[in-house]
Structure 1
Amino acid sequence: MKVKVGVFFGGVSVEHEVSVISALQAINAIDRDQYEPIPIYIAKNKNWYTGEALLEIENYKNIDSLLKQCERIIITTNDQGRPVIHRHTTGMFGKKLISEIDVAFPVIHGTYGEDGILQGYFELHGLPYVGCDVFSSAVGMDKVMMKQILRDSGLPILDYHWFYSSNWLNDQDALIEKIESELNYPVIVKPANLGSSVGISKATNREELEEAVELATEFAKKIVVEKMVTNLKEVNCSVLGDYEEAESSVCEEVLSSTDILTYQDKYQSGGSSKGGGSSKGMESTNRKIPAEMSDEKTAEVQKLAKDTFQTLGCAGVSRIDFLIDKNTEQVFVNEINTIPGSLSFYLWEPTGKSFKELTSDMIQVALKRERERESLTFSVDTNLFAMHSGGAKGGSKSKLGSNS
């Protein structure tokens, strides 16, 4: 009997369209001999849908028409505690159950999908899921928390300063002076919890810093300002596994048209395909694979990638992005993508691992984690209410009725 895999994608973040591309790539790669993928699309209006029409990228050009061909659904648990897909509404004699789900495969980038929120939903439903757990997802999404953990673990990161948007409104001059004295220009300004280069900009003076922070605060309340590497090589490396065993992929050097790798660089470059260049996701980015580095530098990046992945408690597949100062050859961990675009399959194919094998490995890691959790105790079989016959403070029944 095939394992039923619910592939969750879409969502309400700015990376919605990228999620659709990545998910359809993954669905096409999943081994149909072992698994039965079930598409579960979260529309921008937050309603959930399933249906065969979701499997065609061309259908997303007209969302209203697409959703009319799909079934709106909800996820619940049955009497045996198994997660099931139900129709949102049915007629009086309609069949409500659509399918059970054995494992969830989230392919939602950014807010509400990559930040631990969706993973928490799966936990509440007792649904095994692919990828990072709630904690590692949340930490990987929050650049401030990630940097603090990596720094305390001795992993190399760039000098930075962070603050809330309310701090900027209330004490802008003091923050600017602190940034100028501790970091100096140029700096990179980022929202702390977004991906795909959204809201990121460079500042070479005070005026540009103010503009960059104003832009970043449109997307997040927590802002990161970090020292910019001016003579830069950007290198990425993917890691597959969990806290016990993990392996690194080949490295890629990403080629940007500007000082910062933009959203357009990531998703709207690299030539055309059947559905246009943008339909290829992160696969379309201009890059060199493998990156042009010495064997020693490659090994250093691969080790740092694995160390970052396991330090943050990640699982499944992630992509760790690095900045290399070409003047000093020093390597810095820039960020981690716990649900990377296209699941970084293009970094595994040169190692001999096909996209089909990659998705199978990710599902097996998820099922392994579920087996481990089944041996743990999460609750105690007791009833505190049955232990006392009185009220909240342990009083007797007679005291509760003392006025009678």
Structure 2
Amino acid sequence: MKLKLAVLFGGNSTEHEISIISAIQAIGYINREKYDVIPVYISKNNDFYVGEHVDKIEEYTHMNDLIKKSTKVIWVKDGNKVNLVRYPQKLFGNNVISSVDIAFPIVHGTNVEDGVLTGFLQTLGLPVVGCDVLSSAVGMNKYVMKTVLKDNGISVLDCKVYTWTDNEEPEKMYDSIEEKFKYPVIVKPINLGSSIGISKASNRDELKEAMELAFEFSKKVLVEPAIVKLKEINCSVLGDYENAEASECEEPINSDEILSFEDKYIGGNGSKGGAKTGGSKGMASLKRKIPADITKEQRDQVRKMAVDAFKCLGCSGVSRIDFMLDEETGNIYLNEINTIPGSLSFYLWEPLGKRYTQLLDDMIDIAVKQDREAHKLVFSFETNVLEGVHLGGGSKGSKM
């Protein structure tokens, strides 16, 4: 009997459209002999929609029209089952669109990839493909991630965080940055991906512009030294906290000093590129060298650091971990982790013989395994602690 697999994408995120590309691409490669796939589109208002059109990339050029001809649903737990139910409900007839056995979020960015969506799905009791709430949240927060990794001996660049409150006295903030770091510096929102809001500053005027841009996207901004002679290296990891393996390494080829949103998702796309369903190739369209132009020793170091970081953060499923190689010193630093990477980094596994369909199968198998393990744990127990408790009225409340 096939498992009913809900693939969720979209959401209230600056990376909404990229999520659509990644998910529809993946849907075209999921093993239909093992899974009944239910595409679930999440609008920018965080409403859920299903229907025959939501897995067709061409429909998203007119999102309002797509929503009108799709069915809005809510998630309802019914005993041991989780159903997608039509909302608002019809007075007559069956309102259950489908039951769901496993949830597969393919989402990017704040409000979805940061553990918010995973937490919601877990409260329903669904197995969820990918990272849990904690690893998702830590992976999204660049400062927390760096702190955890640094404490576990994984090399990261020093950094400092500034908030909206600091920005109320901007000159004082700029002084603090210049005392801490030499130019150039990199300025980035603390919790965004896809290079959104990231810029390089080589002097105070550029720093002002960079901070203003980053604060448009986040209440907290991270500043770190820029590596002048930089080579970027990316590596994907598949597994969980017990067992994990590293992919081939890649070297992105960017058109500017910082790999931009356009470099990642727009540049190099042909009008007919993409998955079996058509449309953009997403991160797979990025100009890159695979394998990366690095030594065997550097490749081994990157792959080991990637697995160590993946396990350290308690990740699951597939993540992509981005590194910075300082070509002047030879030092390698972990830059960030993408807990749900664009295109699920399938292109990094194909050189090692793992096709996209197998990669997706492996990710789902890991989620099923972790769900079995979770059912062995005790999350509640019988107690009589509420017997005999009387709560009095009044503004001061009462003591037990």
TM range (shorter): over 0.9
Aligned to 2:186: 188
Q: Hey, what's the Cα distance between the residues in 2 that align with 1:46 and 1:264?
A: 25
Are 1:202 and 2:200 counterparts?
Answer: yes
Q: Hey, what's the Cα distance between the residues in 1 that align with 2:174 and 2:269?
A: 41
Q: Hey, what's the Cα distance between the residues in 1 that align with 2:15 and 2:341?
A: 11
Which of 170, 176, 179 aligns to 2:177? It is 179
Q: What do residues 166-204 of structure 1 show as CA deviations (whole Å, max 9, x unaligned)?
A: 1221x4333322221221100000000000000011111
Contact 1:103–1:129 at 8 Å: present in 2 too?
yes
Contact 2:233–2:252 at 8 Å: present in 1 too?
yes
Q: Show the 5 A alignment for 1:285-324.
A: 285-324=286-325
Contact 1:2–1:36 at 8 Å: present in 2 too?
yes
Supply the RMSD in Å over aligned alpha carbons.
Answer: 1.5
Q: Hey, what's the Cα distance between the residues in 2 that align with 1:44 and 1:310?
A: 32
Q: Hey, what's the Cα distance between the residues in 1 that align with 2:47 and 2:189?
A: 27
Structure 1 residue matching 2:281: 3-state secondary structure: helix
Greater gyration radius: 1
Structure 2 residue matching 1:76: 3-state secondary structure: strand
Q: Give percent identity, aligned residues only.
A: 51
Are 1:133 and 2:132 counterparts?
Answer: yes
Contact 1:273–1:280 at 8 Å: present in 2 too?
no
Aligned to 2:52: 52
What is the number of equivalent residue pairs in this alignment? 390
Q: What do residues 268-295 of structure 1 show as CA deviations (whole Å, max 9, x unaligned)?
A: 1124141689711000111011101111
Q: Hey, what's the Cα distance between the residues in 1 that align with 2:204 and 2:80?
A: 57
Contact 2:269–2:280 at 8 Å: present in 1 too?
no
Q: What do residues 325-382 of structure 1 show as CA deviations (whole Å, max 9, x unaligned)?
A: 0111110000000000000000011110010000000001101111110000111123
Structure 2 residue matching 1:279: 3-state secondary structure: coil
Q: Hey, what's the Cα distance between the residues in 2 that align with 1:65 and 1:221?
A: 34
Q: Hey, what's the Cα distance between the residues in 2 that align with 1:48 and 1:27?
A: 17
Cα deviation for residue 81 of structure 1 reads: 3.0
Aligned to 2:122: 123
Q: Hey, what's the Cα distance between the residues in 2 that align with 1:279 and 1:303?
A: 32
Q: Hey, what's the Cα distance between the residues in 2 that align with 1:165 and 1:117?
A: 23
Structure 2 residue matching 1:62: 3-state secondary structure: helix
Task: Read off the aligned partner of 1:56 and give its amino acid letter.
Answer: K
Aligned to 2:151: 152
Are 1:359 and 2:357 counterparts?
Answer: no
Task: Read off the aligned partner of 2:347 and give its amino acid letter.
Answer: Y
Distance 1:5 1:66, change over 3 A: same
Task: Read off the aligned partner of 1:325 and give its amino acid letter.
Answer: D
Aligned to 2:334: 333
Q: Hey, what's the Cα distance between the residues in 2 that align with 1:179 and 1:278?
A: 43
Q: Hey, what's the Cα distance between the residues in 2 that align with 1:91 and 1:48?
A: 17
Give the stretch that moved more between structures: 158-167 or 135-144: 158-167
Cα deviation for residue 91 of structure 1 reads: 2.2
Which of 234, 237, 252 aligns to 1:236? It is 234
Give the stretch that moved more between structures: 60-69 or 18-27: 60-69
Aligned to 1:281: 282
Structure 2 residue matching 1:363: 3-state secondary structure: helix
Task: Read off the aligned partner of 1:93 and give its amino acid letter.
Answer: F
Unaligned runs of 5+ in 2: 393-397
Structure 1 residue matching 2:381: 3-state secondary structure: coil
Cα deviation for residue 383 of structure 1 reads: 4.5
Q: Hey, what's the Cα distance between the residues in 2 that align with 1:7 and 1:237?
A: 24
Q: Hey, what's the Cα distance between the residues in 1 that align with 2:279 and 2:154?
A: 34
Q: Hey, what's the Cα distance between the residues in 1 that align with 2:66 and 2:298?
A: 48
Contact 2:7–2:39 at 8 Å: present in 1 too?
yes
Aligned to 2:17: 17
Q: Hey, what's the Cα distance between the residues in 2 that align with 1:140 and 1:15?
A: 16
Are 1:376 and 2:384 counterparts?
Answer: no
Task: Read off the aligned partner of 2:8 and give its amino acid letter.
Answer: F
Structure 2 residue matching 1:53: 3-state secondary structure: coil
Contact 1:159–1:183 at 8 Å: present in 2 too?
no
Unaligned runs of 5+ in 1: 394-399
Q: Hey, what's the Cα distance between the residues in 2 that align with 1:177 and 1:151?
A: 26
Q: Which has the higher helix share?
A: 1
Are 1:35 and 2:20 counterparts?
Answer: no
Structure 2 residue matching 1:244: 3-state secondary structure: coil
Structure 1 residue matching 2:155: 3-state secondary structure: coil
